[in-house]
Structure 1
Amino acid sequence: MTTIGWSDRRLKLSAFFIAFAIYLAVGYWLQVQNGFILGDALSRVSAAQAVVFSRDPHLAAIGFIFTPLTALAQVPPILFAPLWPDIAARAYSGTMMSAFFMAAAVAQILTMGVDRGLPRGYTLAITALFALNPMILFYGSNGMSEAPFIFFMSWAVRRLILWTLDDDVHHLVTAGGIAMGLAYLTRYDAVACIASAGFLVGITTYRRARKEPRVRRAMLDLIMVSVPGFVSFVGWAAVSWLITGEAFAQFTSQYGNSAILEQSGQTKPSFGTGLGFAATCTFLLAPTLVPIAAWAVIRRWGRPNWPVLLVPLLIYGSALAFQAYSYASGSTFPFLRFYIIAIPLTACLAILAVPDGVLVPAKRRGRYAPPLAPPEPRPRRLWLGYVPVAVAFALTIPITAWGMGQPKYAPQEYALGAVLAPQPDSVSDQKALEHRIAASFSTEREIARYLEGLNLPKSSVITDTIYGFAIIAASERPDTFVIPSDPDFTALLNSPSELGVKYLLAVPPSGRGTADALNRRYPTLYETGADIATLELEIPNDGDSQPNWRLYRVNEPVPKR
């Protein structure tokens, strides 16, 4: 732990609450007022809703495709959905979650500068440029997993930087035992960061330990920083296997990434093309990453504290490398957001690329802490040491904003143009597509309202959550729906008429719809009703890449003779 003055604490709290309020406001404007909601964010809301408001509330309803923390963190706000339905219907519980974690990430970036005794104005400038980056603004407000992942990784990086300077074992406990363990429960990318942290800590301790067996001490520190993350990895896989029979459902389930890629017909890129795409996305998010990193190396090379640079380069860099390899090998999607960790990496390097001030003193210096380096001499003209780096980091904002408007690299972000610059009378194909994406899930909300108007009893409608999550999240009566996480889902699906089911919500048996449980059980359901139901409504969808729904009324059971 470090000694922190009250003024520094107040500064960090102020930064957190200001950022938190900004992200909450942006999320309200985007999601509640304009209905701009990303599908993965809404599906996590639906998962959290199922834990407390489904027909059979239980923790396993959280699902095992995504890692659980992003959805679990939304359970407390979801409890208030009966009072304010938009918490679920408009995914505002997701906004609350991501706003909290991204504001905490902002506080971590600020604390990195405070730890190094940098001029207050420079620290605040880098923090503000990070907090107001358009990708950080968007993903701090939309309920996706990027915000908690950035927070946990930044927390781990900050504590490991301190550990390289003071060898305080408490930093390893926090970085590995808490931050990285929770990071894995947020995003699978963390497994690469956990491995890199173990490598870095093990090698560093081995080089430092001269008065006792090096290998033993290095292994102890490596275990401390990496084993908690490994336990998260094994524990989550074990729980998934015990409940679903699949240890890694993200990769083996009909609902996982591999299945979605196959169902959507996405062409696997060549390895070189995939790496090129990843490099382009990284450049769009952090165009000055390389020059800032190079300048940081030049400034610190040969000084006693130069190893601090290895921490962000290895930890953040591992997440980038993991995503680049995943896309190049054809196991994930061409999404700009997967490379968002380049932004905190650049912010951290901008903090390390300038002269240090008086470092915050360590509370507990370890046995193998390196000698304290004297403060670096400040340049005669103070601004020369700081302003160029801040300007270089500021360049990320306009370039990233432009990159978010490129559909090839930012298919989930570029439709923001329909909200930021609406042109309802435009006849261009791009504007038409933007408006279709921005209108996603409006049809599903209408379906939820229609079903509520029927005053159906509990367990009346069967739907799969592949697409049905948006309807369930929008409904004020989620226990109306029978979903795959219900223990009796298969029994009700096999005998809907006999067991009192009234309706079946069907999607076309193509694309992702081929994995829909209703289509797998009744292959002709969407076209004919499969002789068990009669078509009541056909609902064209206003959203992009969303299915046209058919609502089938289950036929009355045939009387037994």
Structure 2
Amino acid sequence: MTEKLRVSDRRLKFAVFLVALAVYLAVGYWLQVRHGFILGDALSRVSAAQSALFSRDPHLAAIGFIFTPLTAMVQIPAVLLSPLWPEMTERAFSGTIMSAVFMAGGVVQILGMGTDRGLPRGYVLAITALFAFNPMIVFYGSNGMSEAPFIFFMSWAVRRLIMWMVDDDVHHLVAAGGIAMGLAYLTRYDAVACVAAAGLLVGATTYLRAKPEPRFRRALLDTLLVSGPGFAAFVGWAAASWLITGEAFAQFTSQYGNAAILAQSGQPTETFTAGMTFALVCITFLAPTLAPLALCCGIRRYGRPNWSVLLVPLFVYGAALAFQTFSYATGSTFPFLRFYIVAIPLSACLAMLAVPDGVLIPATRRGRYAPPQPDPGQEPRRRSVVYPLVAALFAVAVPVTAWAMGQPRYAPQEYALGAVLAPDPDDVSVRKATEHSIAASFGTERQIARYLEGLNLPESSVITDTVYGFAVTAASSQPETFVVPSDSDFVALLNDPENNGVEYLLAVPPTGRGISDALNVRYPTLYETGADIATLELEIPNDGDSQPTWRLYRVNEPMAPR
């Protein structure tokens, strides 16, 4: 690739990044700041970043160990601006910035999969646009959830591993394993399956290629290069969690983790077969033409030197889909369409591989085991009909996914978008009422925050758990008012609020997830009676879907010593 082409390629990627970033930021602002449509996990991560900076006991460990840390940590610079613009935390716009930057980066990685292969620019831009403006990609590129960084890191890894398959350049393994895979695990637990799958694929490929050299040693080195950093992230995060909380895998063992939430929700567990069927339906909704695209890739690659590039997306993206499918089928995760979102970049990648290659980007350091390459420029223009056919196959996903997002059985977190996108004030159906209650997410918690601010309370005046209370603390301009579980003296103040200057207890019902609320664990009768330590001052009905009716208790005055 000449220097002129390199400059043109960089400019194209930068322009695509800026366009995608602008779209995702605009959508996030419209949904979250203008309409208050905020997903709980996104706001929870914002609250965690806020606690690390502005709580009464600010420290980095306040981010917590239920979620992996990267999505909250990268929001810290934006959260620093919340005193100037409260919507950064109150409306979770810092989360929007995080997901928009990462998803725009993911779009560039999909673009790069085509430009690396020298495909026609019009085709590459078409596939990239279909990916970037898929409704699921737009939504999760703008709402502050972890899907955007996960897609970015996985797509980065897949792109570099594809090129490694072609030119055996060790730089690709360093980027894919040393950076992308390691950071992917700090984004989502799913990545552990991808790290293992990538290591298996790279190790097996090197073992088969490296002859008559010492096969096992070379295969082991390449495996460590691509999977070692991800394994180190796995061990390091578990060790940090164990040292600080006493639990190595809090997501799975803590009272706040997935297993506990599933038990507290009382949802019936599906059979293994039903769970597998659910996952397959979700994947089909997100990538309805996945099988035809894979078939086109197989036909295109069969018998050619670069046939093994097809294995990379199938192994890496496929591992994430397999992990989520098995997790749901065994009853350890939730029935959410978003958990299968990597089916979309998988389809986009297959669309880039299902057409003839052009002139491949030159390797920085071509390895000795690189397979022979075909003469450049011989085949790409012969069958131009392939390009619109494959693009049309990939385009089918856009309307199908848009329809699927409106199905509450499979998309309980997305279908309420209808209340924002197509409001109908005359519709009084139960479903429409539910949609509106979800769309008005955390409005009650913002009102509670405003009410408490109006009391001009001193620091450490209100005890609340973050099971539900994260939405209140995130909305408050005075987060130091609250005593929360990440504070080092939380237990001491909870055990004796009367003699520690605590004025209020913010309580939720001891049902569902409220069972794990620390106030209910310590004082089982608090919500109903005040547990003889507090008096009911205010009850706040909630207008959000599946959100609790709050009760604000005033702590009784300490008894005078006799």
Shorter-chain TM band: over 0.9
Which residue of 2 is the match for residue 249 of structure 1? 250
- Hey, what's the Cα distance between the residues in 2 that align with 1:266 and 1:184? 28
- Hey, what's the Cα distance between the residues in 2 that align with 1:56 and 1:85? 20
- Hey, what's the Cα distance between the residues in 2 that align with 1:422 and 1:256? 35
Displacement, 1:382?
5.2
Displacement, 1:379?
6.7
- Hey, what's the Cα distance between the residues in 1 that align with 2:264 and 2:415? 24
User: Does the aligned pair in 2 maintain the 1:102–1:151 contact within 8 Å?
Assistant: yes
Helix, strand or coil for the counterpart of 1:5?
helix
Residue identity opposite 2:333 in structure 1: T
Helix, strand or coil for the counterpart of 1:476?
coil
Which residue of 2 is the match for residue 260 of structure 1? 261
Displacement, 1:269?
1.1
Matched, 1:347 2:343: no
- Hey, what's the Cα distance between the residues in 2 that align with 1:228 and 1:247? 18
Cα distance change, pair 379–69 in 1 and its aligned pair in 2 (3 A) = closer
Residue identity opposite 1:504 in structure 2: L
- Hey, what's the Cα distance between the residues in 2 that align with 1:65 and 1:371? 47
Which residue of 2 is the match for residue 423 of structure 1? 424
Displacement, 1:292?
0.6
**Mean Cα displacement is larger for which, 440-449 or 370-379?**
370-379
Which residue of 1 is the match for residue 11 of structure 2? 10
Which residue of 1 is the match for residue 510 of structure 2? 509
Residue identity opposite 1:423 in structure 2: D
Which residue of 2 is the match for residue 481 of structure 1? 482
- Hey, what's the Cα distance between the residues in 2 that align with 1:305 and 1:383? 20
Which residue of 1 is the match for residue 203 of structure 2? 202
Cα distance change, pair 379–487 in 1 and its aligned pair in 2 (3 A) = closer
Matched, 1:386 2:387: yes
User: Does the aligned pair in 1 maintain the 2:357–2:380 contact within 8 Å?
Assistant: no
- Hey, what's the Cα distance between the residues in 1 that align with 2:548 and 2:189? 29
Displacement, 1:367?
1.4
- Hey, what's the Cα distance between the residues in 1 that align with 2:379 and 2:198? 32
Which residue of 2 is the match for residue 122 of structure 1? 123
- Hey, what's the Cα distance between the residues in 1 that align with 2:100 and 2:349? 20
Displacement, 1:380?
6.3
Which residue of 1 is the match for residue 465 of structure 2? 464
User: Does the aligned pair in 2 maintain the 1:196–1:315 contact within 8 Å?
Assistant: yes
Displacement, 1:267?
1.5
- Within a 5 Å distance, the mapping from 1:104-253 to structure 2 comes to 104-253=105-254
Residue identity opposite 2:342 in structure 1: I
Displacement, 1:170?
1.0
- Hey, what's the Cα distance between the residues in 2 that align with 1:468 and 1:514? 14
- Hey, what's the Cα distance between the residues in 2 that align with 1:168 and 1:89? 46
Displacement, 1:374?
2.4
- Hey, what's the Cα distance between the residues in 1 that align with 2:377 and 2:268? 52
Could you tell me the percent identity over the aligned residues? 75
Residue identity opposite 1:307 in structure 2: S
- Hey, what's the Cα distance between the residues in 2 that align with 1:379 and 1:534? 77
Cα distance change, pair 162–2 in 1 and its aligned pair in 2 (3 A) = farther
Displacement, 1:368?
1.0
| Deviation sequence 1:338-392 (CA, Å, 0-9, x none) | 0000000000000000011111111210111111222364476754020010011
| Deviation sequence 1:465-484 (CA, Å, 0-9, x none) | 00000000000000000000
Unpaired segments ≥5 residues, structure 2: none
Helix, strand or coil for the counterpart of 2:333?
coil
Displacement, 1:543?
0.1
Residue identity opposite 1:159 in structure 2: R
Cα distance change, pair 380–354 in 1 and its aligned pair in 2 (3 A) = closer
Helix, strand or coil for the counterpart of 2:101?
helix
Displacement, 1:28?
0.1
- Hey, what's the Cα distance between the residues in 2 that align with 1:82 and 1:373? 59
Residue identity opposite 2:518 in structure 1: A
User: Does the aligned pair in 2 maintain the 1:355–1:376 contact within 8 Å?
Assistant: no
Residue identity opposite 2:52 in structure 1: V
- Hey, what's the Cα distance between the residues in 2 that align with 1:225 and 1:354? 28
- Hey, what's the Cα distance between the residues in 1 that align with 2:352 and 2:199? 24
Helix, strand or coil for the counterpart of 1:22?
helix
Which residue of 2 is the match for residue 445 of structure 1? 446
RMSD of aligned C-alpha atoms?
A: 1.2
What is the TM-score when the length of structure 1 is the normalising length?
Answer: 0.99
Residue identity opposite 1:549 in structure 2: W
Which residue of 1 is the match for residue 404 of structure 2? 403
Displacement, 1:519?
0.2
Helix, strand or coil for the counterpart of 2:539?
strand
Which residue of 1 is the match for residue 533 of structure 2? 532
Unpaired segments ≥5 residues, structure 1: none
- Hey, what's the Cα distance between the residues in 2 that align with 1:379 and 1:103? 28
- Hey, what's the Cα distance between the residues in 1 that align with 2:528 and 2:311? 59
Cα distance change, pair 376–310 in 1 and its aligned pair in 2 (3 A) = farther
Helix, strand or coil for the counterpart of 2:477?
coil
Residue identity opposite 1:281 in structure 2: C
Helix, strand or coil for the counterpart of 1:36?
coil
Residue identity opposite 2:16 in structure 1: A
User: Does the aligned pair in 2 maintain the 1:126–1:350 contact within 8 Å?
Assistant: yes
Number of aligned positions between the proteins: 561
- Hey, what's the Cα distance between the residues in 1 that align with 2:428 and 2:185? 45
- Hey, what's the Cα distance between the residues in 1 that align with 2:479 and 2:126? 46
Cα distance change, pair 350–18 in 1 and its aligned pair in 2 (3 A) = same
- Hey, what's the Cα distance between the residues in 1 that align with 2:506 and 2:141? 33
Which residue of 1 is the match for residue 309 of structure 2? 308
Cα distance change, pair 372–381 in 1 and its aligned pair in 2 (3 A) = closer
Residue identity opposite 2:276 in structure 1: L
